[in-house]
Amino acid sequence: MTDATHRAAPAKAVVAEAAAPVSALARLRQSPQWRWATPEQRVVLQRIAAQRDQWLLNRLTREREAALLASAQEVDANAPLPQRLAAFARLHPTTMAAAVAGVALAFGPKRLLRVLRSSLPTLLPLLAKLKR
């Protein structure tokens, strides 16, 4: 390795560290609030910072899973059934539209409305997950 590659490696590490989110606890300990807080206040502040870190972790996990699902080009055979159905629907929208139209024609309007009315509370959370 040349001297230039040794100098370039730390710069990449600094960029990677800058892209990573800083923990709420680390930011708290650098703030002036931390220096002037009583021990009881520090316990509460630490609990709040841990909760913020957990929220951030959950949000990043959801975003990563959503990005993976959106970029899927095939249906994962080992995934749970709702996830497989969602991936199939995303990959084959015309097939799903034809299947829904076929089911609607087979049921008839009255029965279709009755089934939709009873299954709507179950379908709404699934539709909300698909929009994310």
Helices (H) and strands (E) in the chain, counts: 7, 0
Instruction: Identify the residue whose tokens are 């199939």.
Output: 88
Mind listing the pLDDT tens digit for each residue in 99-114? 888 888 888 888 888 8
Per-residue model confidence (pLDDT) at position 19:
60
| Distances 55 to 62, 106, 114 between C-alpha atoms, Å | 11, 46, 39
Mind listing the pLDDT tens digit for each residue in 26-39? 888 888 888 888 99
Phi then psi dihedrals of residue 31, to 5 deg: -80, 155
- Domain extents for the chain? 18-71, 76-132
Give the residue ranges of the chain where pLDDT is below 70.
1-20, 72, 132
Give 80-116 as a DSSP string: -HHHHHHHHHHH-HHHHHHHHHHHHHHH-HHHHHHHH
Per-residue model confidence (pLDDT) at position 59:
92
Mean residue pLDDT of the chain comes to 79
Return the closest-CA partner of residue 56 out of 17, 20, 13, 18.
20
